[in-house]
């Protein structure tokens, strides 16, 4: 049986987040979808959480995987929907009628449909609205929000699944490939789709340096003849300069003196704070 939509959820030892995600899917008023849960052989209560749901068209597996994109690719292999939505454990659909509001857009046959997403951060909720018209600067300098984007399944058959050599930015690379290199069609949806779990890998502070590193590797791989020197890297840094933390990391890496000064400052701060931390 084929569906208009396959929702793919990957999970590893996040029973609490998985329950939230599955609850948001189970209560949708529009039901013409399948939900595929790919669990990475979790040792917490995740499998019991999955078993506690019995809504129609739930398909799941729990087995070891080699990482985030390996799990996503397993979900793609199992999917039969015209469109795929990657809603990972911890992410939730914004309301019970989100899918009811957007499924009509599937008939328009665009390759990529991107809706709004809410980042539920400590300092408050932040709404990201994708541009009405996709541009090169947005595609390269920002990131299309994976959990609020419906992707035609046939794109993965045509261009290949997620590159498992990249650990953090393979979804970004996929959008560069299909929208940038291959001119597939894009449409902005005027609806908020997902509330995003800010505890994910791509939003963790310690991974920002790896994100920038992997993005550079993607551009070198896709544009080997033209993206090949420090000036290109500098131009790329300008595209993502709206991300202050990444910009600061790039400046530190570019100038060894500042890197040394930063290391000394952080070491000093850590030494000063150590007695307070140990006294807790």
pLDDT at 194 over 80: yes
- Of 226, 232, 219, the C-alpha closest to 177 is 219
Q: How far apart are CA 137 and CA 236, in angstroms?
A: 9
Note the pLDDT of residue 267. 58
For the full predicted model, state whether its pTM sits above 0.95: no
Note the pLDDT of residue 29. 97
Torsion of CA 140, 146, 148, 153, to 10 degrees: 110
pLDDT tens for 70-125 read 999 999 999 999 999 999 999 999 999 999 999 999 999 999 999 999 998 878 88
pLDDT tens for 216-259 read 888 888 888 877 776 666 455 555 554 444 444 444 444 455 44
Element spanning 172, H or E: helix 170-175
pLDDT class for 270, splitting at 50, 70, 90?
low
- Catalogue all structural domains in the chain, each as residue range(s) with its CATH number: 5-203 (3.90.550.10), 206-278 (no CATH)
- Tokens 């987040």 sit on residue: 17
Give helix 244-254 / helix 256-278 axis angle, nearest 10°.
120
Note the pLDDT of residue 251. 47
Note the pLDDT of residue 108. 95
> Which token pair is 34?
């399948």
- N-term to C-term CA, the chain: 57
pLDDT, average across residues 59-79? 97
Note the pLDDT of residue 90. 95
Give helix 208-222 / helix 230-239 axis angle, nearest 10°.
120
Note the pLDDT of residue 180. 92
Residue 45 burial by Cβ neighbours in a 10 Å radius (0-12, 13-18, 19+): middle
Helix (H, G, I), strand (E, B) or coil at 234: helix
Query: Backbone phi, then psi, for 187, in 5-degree steps?
Result: -140, 135
pLDDT tens for 132-181 read 999 988 888 888 999 999 999 999 999 999 999 999 999 999 999 999 99
Cβ neighbors of 163 (< 8 A, separation 6 or more) are 69, 170, 173, 174
- Of 138, 240, 125, the C-alpha closest to 194 is 125
Note the pLDDT of residue 245. 45
Note the pLDDT of residue 56. 85
């Amino acid at each position: 049986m084929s569906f208009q939509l396959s929702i793919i959820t990957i999970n590893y030892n996040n029973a609490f987040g998985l329950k939230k995600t599955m609850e948001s899917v189970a209560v949708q008023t529009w039901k013409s979808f399948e939900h595929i849960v790919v669990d990475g052989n979790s040792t917490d209560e995740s499998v019991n959480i999955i078993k506690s749901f019995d809504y129609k068209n739930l398909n799941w597996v729990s087995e070891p995987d080699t990482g985030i994109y390996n799990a996503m690719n397993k979900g793609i292999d199992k999917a039969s929907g015209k469109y795929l939505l990657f809603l990972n454990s911890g992410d939730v659909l914004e309301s019970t009628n989100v899918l009811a509001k957007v499924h009509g857009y599937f008939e328009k046959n665009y390759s990529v449909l991107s809706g709004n997403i809410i980042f539920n951060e400590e300092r408050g909720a932040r709404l990201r609205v994708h541009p009405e018209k996709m541009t090169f600067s947005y595609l390269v300098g920002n990131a299309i929000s994976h959990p609020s984007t419906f992707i035609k399944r046939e794109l993965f058959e045509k261009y290949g699944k997620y590159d498992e050599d990249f650990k953090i930015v393979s979804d970004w690379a996929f959008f560069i490939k299909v929208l940038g290199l291959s001119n597939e069609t894009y449409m902005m949806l005027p609806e908020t789709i997902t509330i995003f779990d800010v505890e994910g890998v791509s939003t963790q502070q310690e991974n920002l340096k790896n994100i920038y590193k992997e993005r550079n590797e993607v551009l070198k791989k896709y544009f080997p003849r033209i993206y090949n020197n420090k000036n290109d890297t500098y131009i790329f840094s300008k595209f993502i300069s709206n991300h202050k933390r990444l910009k600061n990391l790039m400046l530190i890496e570019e100038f060894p003196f500042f890197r040394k000064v930063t290391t000394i400052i952080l070491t000093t701060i850590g030494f000063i704070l150590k007695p307070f931390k140990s006294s807790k």
